[in-house]
Structure 1
Amino acid sequence: MAGRFGILDEEKVFKDPVHRYIHVRDELIWELIGTREFQRLRRVRQLGTTYLTFHGAEHTRFNHSLGVYEIMRRMIENMEKKEPLWDPEERLVCLSAALLHDIGHGPFSHSFEKVFHTDHEEWTREIILGDTEVNRVLSGMGADFPKKVADVIAKTYTNKLVVSLISSQIDADRMDYLLRDAFYTGVSYGQFDMERILRVMRPTEDQAVFKISGMHAVEDYIMSRYQMYWQVYFHPVTRSAEVILSKILHRAKELYEKGYEFQDKPKHFSSLFAGKMTLEDYLKLDESVILYYFQEWQEEKDPILQDLCCRFMDRRLFKYIECDPSVQMEIWPELNQLFTKIGLEPNYYLVIDSSSDLPYDFYRPGEEEERLPIHLLKPNGDLRELSRESDIVEAISGKKRTDHKLYFPKDLLEDKSKFAEEKQRILELLMAQEG
């Protein structure tokens, strides 16, 4: 591929606890890593509030993005050695997309997105295509190169094989975050034999497939993903922290819209609250900025914002009970009335949170979030969908698991200095639901 970048005079390496070393040989990749937009990812945690549950989970989107790049580099290296179907002209597009796939993530990622209705993939494309250092570096490979990279991340790129390597049911992104998140949280659930998976991976016109001799490694990967979601990503304590974080941002936005005079005006949020956030404004937001305001808002006059910020910063999280939303609605009016009576705003202190996951699915054309299945390559060249060969995967295929929990400040309800009868009634209602 033509462009002003070539191969570095000397290979650069990053020492990495998951992959041992991350190798950079291309000037393009080295230049992208040095951009201000990519360096910002050092200040955005990979797992949001999970560090409040698993204290080792302090790793960042920067770590993860380098890891996805390294897995992609190794995928391509394997395919270049063995497969005529692989087009070497796609190499730098793949490596750039792998490195930049998460560059649009905001602070506390998914919680932030839910409150402000932003989309990190849209911001990723804006960073790649906008007036940024990243765009200027990518443009050194040709005027159309940034769009190619953005199209891969948007899943609209013409070469579907390239898209599948970074976005499918088994891809470089998922493989790195499972291994990396397991390492930093200290759990064993996310471990699987990545070396074996890479060795048995073969390209086809539309996606990567896997030799049937490696089926057990793929099974292990699917089960690792299933366990990580329910033991780490959807951990109820992490979700409690996310609930409080979301409510802090909701409260700050509500106060701003009402003209509340903050003691420390949240200038970093002004354009966001007003719905006029520019790319430059967005790039100034990271978790150090968010935590600065949370620290300051502990001194605010508004009791709700003050309390929620103190809870988050001091890790005094909400307690939870298992919750069936259909049953819960029967007691919801009384709970809301009681919470209001004792001075707790239900919108901020009584929250149902739901999590759901579909660990593996076969092809369902036309449905939302349509998924391509994982195919196994038989010795005679035929392809076989994974769940038709694996009893383990068949048992969880297409089965969406959903979990509901109700979060509330139990410490305030156990303080009987005021409204003792009402608080006791609330606890009785909640504990009855828990069974």
Structure 2
Amino acid sequence: MKSKPHVFRDPLHGYIDTDEKVSEIIDTPWFQRLRRIKQLGFTYYVYPTAEHTRFSHSLGCYHVAKELSKKLKIDNKAILYAALLHDIGHGPFSHMLEQLLGDHEEWTQRILLEFSDDIENIINYKEDENIKVENIISILRGEHEYSSIISSQLDVDRLDYLLRDSYFVGVEYGKFDIHRLLHTLRYENGAVKIDYKGRHVIESYVLARYHMYQQVYFHHTTRGIVKLVESIFKRAKEIYNKSEINLIYSMVSIFNGKLNVENYLILDDSSVVEQIKTWKNAKDKILSDLCKRFLNRKLLKPIDIGYSEEFMWKKRNVKNKIKNLLTSNGYDPEYYLLEDIAADVPYKPYHPGEEESSIFMESKDKRNIYTIEEVSKVISVLTHKESVKRIYIPSQTRKKIETLIRGIEVLE
């Protein structure tokens, strides 16, 4: 082993200890890349301190998985490696370019398979057991006995990111007592079960997730920046298909269709920002304007579409009217009328056959098992889909478009 055991100082978990094998994986270039991928993408445009990365989150997941394994008396090191490696496939700004690059979970599997020999040589060094990369992938894909520890409605991923995101964003919404929560957990037959005394901390955890989605993850400005960057790359792709466009080295494989693991691992947050800085001087006026809006935070403005407006949107052909208004004001609606739907179910209720993703609680006398939504009135009201639809348009047209959406035409 080239690497020595590490000790990482963490604001949430105190000290995170890693043995020489975990340290060896952490020291690989493909894991170090996570230092250059922000955990919350463009959220720092709204919350300036949201600069934490997938690197620190991955360490946090590893730590929580280790503590949970101790509590549940599970001796399976593949779980710890799955927790550590579950996010290595994230692209620039986390989920931001997945429409262009592909699903990060698929990239995680491709990266693990690409380096499977190296990974297996590290984790099986001087060990009797033989952990295969396929074991780790089966956990990540939900095909393993312990998959729900990594991905479910109560998993090490959520336990870390809710606390980590709320800490670095600077809000109180995402906080809950993780130590109390871990103390009340049991694991049986592929499902997480909670002691009756843990009801209130589970309510706190589910509420934390609900509030973080409403106040942070669904924030209209953050969502708007993502849509703006998608529009930038959409325009760039359009230009590329017709003529030449200035591309930095790390972006070439995205546009020429030759994106493989080697090229993918070159990409990080700085790749996107550097490319946009290059395109701000593009001859194409639309591409240049969109890039300047991103760099200078002169963003498109949001308009929420409520239930009544949604009805008008469909029945009264408001969308075409907005397109016409934008065109008459010199904006191509293909790039300046951006639609977004943010949706989430705070807690998904139990359905037969989905035991691994549900949370169960034993009765006070320990004779019966109930779903958490049966026991908690708080959680039972959070089992419905929460969604908001927005459009983003240039600020100069906002008042006219707001009037149109409400069914009143204004002629000037």
Q: Same fold (TM over 0.5)?
A: yes
User: 1:360 and 1:96, CA in 2 relative to 1: closer, same or farther beyond 3 A?
Assistant: same
* Structure 2 match to 1:420: none
SS of equivalent to 1:13:
strand
Q: Given that residues 191 and 356 in structure 2 are in contact (C-alpha distance below 8 angstroms), is that contact kept between their aligned partners in structure 1?
A: no
Deviation at 1:425, TM superposition (A): 4.8
* Structure 1 match to 2:11: 17
SS of equivalent to 1:361:
coil
- 2:30 aligned with 1:37: yes
Residues matched between the structures, number: 399
2:10 and 2:400 map into 1 onto residues whose CA distance is: 53
User: 1:198 and 1:426, CA in 2 relative to 1: closer, same or farther beyond 3 A?
Assistant: closer
Q: Given that residues 5 and 20 in structure 2 are in contact (C-alpha distance below 8 angstroms), is that contact kept between their aligned partners in structure 1?
A: no
* Structure 1 match to 2:394: 409
Deviation at 1:257, TM superposition (A): 1.4
* Structure 2 match to 1:419: none
Deviations 1:44-85 (A, max 9, x none): 0000010101111000000100001111111112222xxxxx
Q: Map residues 97-112 of structure 1 onto 2, 5 A cutoff.
A: 97-112=82-97
Deviation at 1:372, TM superposition (A): 2.6
2:259 and 2:345 map into 1 onto residues whose CA distance is: 33
Deviations 1:272-327 (A, max 9, x none): 22333110010001011111111111111111111111111111111111114442
- 2:138 aligned with 1:151: yes
Deviation at 1:351, TM superposition (A): 1.4
**Amino acid in the other structure paired with 2:39:** Q
**Amino acid in the other structure paired with 2:345:** L
Identity score, percent = 38
2:115 and 2:32 map into 1 onto residues whose CA distance is: 16
Deviations 1:75-115 (A, max 9, x none): 112222xxxxx3x2x1x101100000000000022220023
2:39 and 2:400 map into 1 onto residues whose CA distance is: 40
Unaligned runs of 5+ in 1: 81-85, 415-423
Residue number among 281, 284, 293 corresponding to 1:311 in the alignment: 293
2:286 and 2:183 map into 1 onto residues whose CA distance is: 55
2:88 and 2:201 map into 1 onto residues whose CA distance is: 30
Q: Given that residues 185 and 195 in structure 2 are in contact (C-alpha distance below 8 angstroms), is that contact kept between their aligned partners in structure 1?
A: yes
More displaced 10-residue stretch of structure 1: 106-115 or 168-177? 106-115
* Structure 1 match to 2:57: 64
- 2:373 aligned with 1:380: no
**Amino acid in the other structure paired with 1:15:** R
Deviations 1:212-271 (A, max 9, x none): 111100010001100000100000011111111111111111111112x22x33432232
Q: What's the TM-score, normalizing by structure 1?
A: 0.86
SS of equivalent to 1:396:
coil
- 2:231 aligned with 1:247: yes
Deviation at 1:365, TM superposition (A): 4.4
* Structure 2 match to 1:226: 210
Residue number among 264, 268, 280 corresponding to 1:282 in the alignment: 264
Residue number among 351, 363, 369 corresponding to 1:364 in the alignment: 351
**Amino acid in the other structure paired with 1:77:** K
SS of equivalent to 1:187:
coil
Residue number among 111, 131, 137 corresponding to 2:122 in the alignment: 137
Unaligned runs of 5+ in 2: none
- 2:328 aligned with 1:341: yes
* Structure 2 match to 1:204: 188
RMSD, aligned CA: 2.3
**Amino acid in the other structure paired with 1:303:** K
* Structure 2 match to 1:301: 283
Residue number among 217, 240, 244 corresponding to 1:256 in the alignment: 240
* Structure 2 match to 1:417: none
- 2:50 aligned with 1:52: no
Deviation at 1:139, TM superposition (A): 6.2
Deviation at 1:427, TM superposition (A): 5.8
Deviations 1:135-193 (A, max 9, x none): 65346567751110111111112x2xx21111110110001000000000100000001
**Amino acid in the other structure paired with 1:123:** W
More displaced 10-residue stretch of structure 1: 424-433 or 61-70? 424-433
**Amino acid in the other structure paired with 1:332:** K
| Runs of 4+, deviation exceeding 3 Å | 131-144, 424-428, 430-433
